[in-house]
Amino acid sequence: MSDTPLVTLTRETDIGVITVNYPPVNALGPGVVEGIIDCLKQGFADPAITAMVLIGAGRSFIAGADIRGFGTGRKRLPLGERIYDILDASTKPVVAAIHGYALGGGLEIALACNYRVAIDSAKVGLPEVLIGILPGGGGTQRLPRLVGPQAAMDMIVTGRHVPAREAGELGIVDEVIPDTAGLRDSAIAYARRIAAVRPLPRVRDREDKLIQAKLDPSIFDAMRKSIARRARNQKAPYHCIAAVEAACTLPFDDGIRRESELFRELENSDEARALRYAFFAEREVAKLPDLPRDVTAKPFSNAAVIGAGTMGGGIAMSFADFGIPVKILDSTKEALDRGMERIRNNYATSVKRGSLAEDEMQHRLARIEPVSGYDDIKDADIVIEAVFEEMDVKKPVFAKLDAVMKPGALLLSNTSALDIDELAAMTHRPGDVAGAHFFSPANVMKLLEVVRGAKTSPETLLSATQMGRKIGKIAGVAGNCDGFLANRSRAPFNTEMVILLEEGCLPEQVDKVMVDFGYPMGPFAVGDLAGLDISAAGRRRRAAANPNYRKLPIADRLVELGRYGQKTGAGWYRYEKGDRAPHPDPEVAAIIKHVSTEMNVPRRGFTDQEILRRLLFSSVNEACKILEEGIAYRASDIDVMWLHGFGFPRYRGGLMFWADGIGVRDVYNQIAAWHQQYGERWAPAALLRQLAESDTPFREAKPGR
Ligand code: 3H9
C-alpha cells in the first residue's frame, strides 16, 4: 500500500479541489467515501473556499463501489452519514469533474453533486445490473429526475456506458469539455463561474421530468414486457424497473428507502454472486501466470488474413472494426469477390439495423484490402490463417508463410482443433506460431482462444492475447490438444445430447431444457445453424484417430439424408423457406426411434434435471481432465470460454461455477454412478475424484502441468 492519502483537499485560491486517488480505477474501496466526506466537511468549514471540485486522479473519475466488498459483510458506506445526504445538504456548490469512467456509485456521487462537467472521452453509466444488483446510492431516484424515467430505465436496465456528449444531450452533465482543454483547470474555472449561484441546484428537487410518467405509468409494464426474453430467470433488471417506478410514485426519501430495500434483496442473490464472479473471471483470464516478467508484447499496426471464407471475412472485419488495416488473401479472384461481397453485406445489414453509420461502414470497408499473392502480405505484423479446417490444407500455408513473412511476424492459425505443433513444424520459426481460435461469427463473438504450442514463445503468447484485446475480444489461453480448451470441454456435451436421443429424448425437448436454463438457443438449433456436415467432418476425423470413438448414428443418418441444417432447410428441425424458426419434424422423430430400435436401446422418459446434468456434467468431467493436464490455467478460464464462446447464461457464472453451486461431491457421485451405468465415457477424472475427496470447490482446483 502506498502512503499517498486516498483523498486529498487542496485549495486553488477560492476553489477547493477534492482528489480521489485509489488506483487503478478509483473504486469506492475502504476509506475512500470516508475520505471524500472528510474533505467535503473541511471545504464547507473553510471560509476562503467558495465552491468545490471533486475529481479523480489517474485514469478515471470513480468506477463505482468496490465490487470485491460485496457479499463479504463489509459495509460499503458509513452508516448514518451517507455521502449523498452530505452533498444534498451542501452549503457551497460542488462540481463533479469527470474523465475516464463515472460508473455506479461513482456516477451516483456525481449525481448528488450540484453540477457535473465531463471531458469528451469520458463515459458515465449505472452498470450495477450487470453484476446482478441495482444502483443503491440514489441512482434510481436521481437519474430519472434528470433525464426522465424512460431514458433512466434504458440506462439502468442495460447498464450501458454513455459517452460524454450523449450524457450532455440527456442532461446528465452540464458541460462537455474538449479533451485537450485540461479537465482540472476547466472544472475550477467552471466552479468559479457558478460559485455564487443560489439556491444551489439539487437533482433531488427536480420533478419536471417525472410528470409524464406519473400521468401515464404504462411505460414500466411496457419495459418489463420488452425485457422478458433477455432477462428471463433474473431478478435484477426487474428490480431496477421497480426502483425507477418508485421514483415516480414516492416522495424522494421514500424512494431512496425503497431503492435500499430492493438493493438488499439482490446483493447476495445467486444471480449477483454469479455475475460478480464472471466480472472477475473475465479480468483474471487476461493474466498469464507463467510468463517471465520482462516479456513485452510486439506492437502491431496491421494484419493479414489467409482465406476469404466466412471465418476469414469475420476475422478481417474484427480488425477493420477496431481501426486496423487488414489484407485478406485468397487464391482466386472469385473467392475474394465472394468474400468481399459477404463482408459488404454484413456491414450493410448493420447499417440497415441502425447499429452502424453509413460513413463508418465505408471507413471499415476501406481498411480491408483483398489481395491474391503472398508477396502482398509479406510485411504484415500479424497473419491469421483461416483456410479450410484440414491439416493437409493448412500445412502448405504455414510453409509459404515461413518463406515470405518478415522476421518477427506473428503466424497464427484459426484452427479450432488441429495440432498447432504440426503447423509450427512447417516453419523455421515455431516460436512465432500460435493458435488464434475465433468463434463464429468472428466479428461478433467476443471470445478468442489463444493456443500455445510446445514452442510458442512467451512473447508470441502475450502478443496474441494483446492483439485479441485490441480488437475487443476476451482472450484466454489454452494448451495444445485436440479441441484445445473450449471445444474439447464442449465435445462430451455434443456427444451426450445425441445419445439422449437414442435413449428417449427428442431434439425439441433437450433444446427446451437448455433454453429454460438460460441459453439463447438450444444445442440442436445451434447445430442446425452451424451445419451438421461440419460436425460430421469433425467426428470422421476423430473416429479415424481413435478406434474407441463413440459413433453417433442418429447424427450420421441425418447427414446421409442431406439434412445439413438451416442451409438445406432441414437438419434436427425443419425450416420454412426464408425463415430461421426451427419446427420439430416428425421425420426426425421417426429416424430417432428407428435408430434406437436398431441399436436395441430401450426408450424412456427423462426429467429436465436429468437432461441438464447429463449434458453439463459430461463437460465438467472433461474440464477436470483439461485442468489436470494443464491445458487451462484455471477453472474460471473455462467459465469465461463457456460464457463467451457457447452462450452459457452469464447469471449462472459459467460451467464450473454452476457445478460448484451443486457441490463437487454430488457432481462426483453422479458421474461415478453414470460410469457404472454407461461405461468408460463417464470415467471420472482423477482431479474430480481428488476434489470430491478433499471437498475442494472446482474454482480452487490447481491445474497440473
Ligand atoms: C456499485 O457502484 C453499487 C452502487 O450502486 C452503490 C451501492 C451502495 N471494484 O476492467 P479493468 C478492478 S457497483 C473493484 O481491467 P478497464 C478490476 O478488477 C459497481 N475492482 O480496466 C481490475 O483489477 P485487476 C459499479 C474493480 O480499463 C482493475 O480494476 N461499477 C472495480 O478495462 C482494472 O479493471 C462497475 O460495475 C470495482 N468497481 O475497465 C464498474 N472496477 O487489475 C466495474 C474495476 O486486479 N468496472 N476494478 O484485475 C468496469 O466496468 C471496468 O473495470 C472499467 C475499467 C470500465 C471501470
The domains of the chain, with CATH numbers, are: 7-268 (3.90.226.10), 303-478 (3.40.50.720), 505-603 (1.10.1040.50)
Distance in Å, CA 164 to ligand 1 centroid: 19
| Nearest residue (CA) to ligand 1, atom 48 | 283
Distance in Å, CA 594 to ligand 1 centroid: 55
Phi, psi at 62, each rounded to 5°: -140, 125
Q: How confident is the model at residue 687 (pLDDT cuts 50, 70, 90)?
A: very high
d(CA 654, CA 281): 10
Distance in Å, CA 291 to ligand 1 centroid: 25
Q: What average pLDDT does the segment 84-104 reach?
A: 96
Please report the pLDDT score of residue 537 as a whole number. 87
Q: Determine contact, residues 621/671, Cβ cutoff 8 Å.
A: yes
Task: Give the nearest ligand 1 atom to 59 CA.
Answer: 27
Please report the pLDDT score of residue 78 as a whole number. 46
Q: What average pLDDT does the segment 462-466 reach?
A: 97
Three-class SS string for 261-325? HHHHHHHCCHHHHHHHHHHHHHHHCCCCCCCCCCCCCCCCCCEEEECCCHHHHHHHHHHHHCCCC
Q: Give CA 169 to chain center in angstroms.
A: 28
Task: Give the nearest ligand 1 atom to 64 CA.
Answer: 2
Would the pLDDT of 81 be above 80? no
178: number of Cβ within 10 Å:
11
pLDDT digit string, tens, across residues 28-75? 999 999 999 999 999 999 999 999 999 999 999 999 999 998 877 666
pLDDT digit string, tens, across residues 253-297? 999 999 999 999 999 999 999 999 999 999 999 999 989 989 999
Would the pLDDT of 658 be above 70? yes
Task: Give the nearest ligand 1 atom to 108 CA.
Answer: 5
Do the strands 15-20 and 7-12 form a parallel or antiparallel pair, or are they unpaired? antiparallel
d(CA 411, CA 383): 5
| Nearest residue (CA) to ligand 1, atom 44 | 25
| Nearest residue (CA) to ligand 1, atom 24 | 283
Would you say the pTM of this structure is higher than 0.75? yes
Q: Give CA 122 to chain center in angstroms.
A: 21
Write the CA distances from 408 to 285, 551, 619, integer angstroms: 26, 43, 38
Write the CA distances from 59 to 45, 68, 106, integer angstroms: 30, 20, 14
Would the pLDDT of 527 be above 60? yes
Distance in Å, CA 369 to ligand 1 centroid: 38
Question: Which of 20, 22, 36, 67 most suits a substitution to test ligand 1, by most atoms within 8 Å of the C-beta?
Answer: 67
Q: What is the set of active-site residues?
A: 108, 128
Task: Give the nearest ligand 1 atom to 77 CA.
Answer: 8
d(CA 241, CA 157): 7
Please report the pLDDT score of residue 19 as a whole number. 98
Q: What average pLDDT does the segment 695-700 reach?
A: 95
| Nearest residue (CA) to ligand 1, atom 5 | 135
Task: Give the nearest ligand 1 atom to 131 CA.
Answer: 36
Please report the pLDDT score of residue 705 as a whole number. 65
Residue type, 502: E
Phi-psi region of 595 (alpha: psi -120 to 50; beta: other; left: phi over 0): alpha
Please report the pLDDT score of residue 612 as a whole number. 98
Tell the residue number behind the cell numbers 449462472, with chain if given: 652
Task: Give the nearest ligand 1 atom to 130 CA.
Answer: 36
Distance in Å, CA 263 to ligand 1 centroid: 19
Percentage helix, strand, coil for the chain under 3-state DSSP, each rounded to 5:
55, 10, 35
Please report the pLDDT score of residue 452 as a whole number. 97
E-only strand ranges, 145-287? 162-163, 175-177
d(CA 373, CA 27): 51
Question: Which of 20, 25, 277, 650 most suits a substitution to test ligand 1, by most atoms within 8 Å of the C-beta?
Answer: 25
| Nearest residue (CA) to ligand 1, atom 7 | 136
User: Mean of the per-residue pLDDT values for the chain?
Assistant: 95
Classify 606 as helix, strand or coil. coil
Please provide the size of the chain in residues: 705
d(CA 535, CA 561): 15
Distance in Å, CA 441 to ligand 1 centroid: 28
If we measure between CA atoms, which residue out of 666, 654, 670 comes closest to residue 618? 670
Distance in Å, CA 64 to ligand 1 centroid: 7
Name residues contacting ligand 1 (CB within 6 A).
Answer: 24-25, 27, 63-68, 76-77, 101, 103-105, 108, 127-128, 131, 135-137, 139, 280, 283
Please report the pLDDT score of residue 3 as a whole number. 72
Of all helices (H) and strands (E), which one includes residue 536? helix 532-545
Of all helices (H) and strands (E), which one includes residue 98? strand 94-98
Which cell goes with 323?
481501426
| Nearest residue (CA) to ligand 1, atom 32 | 283
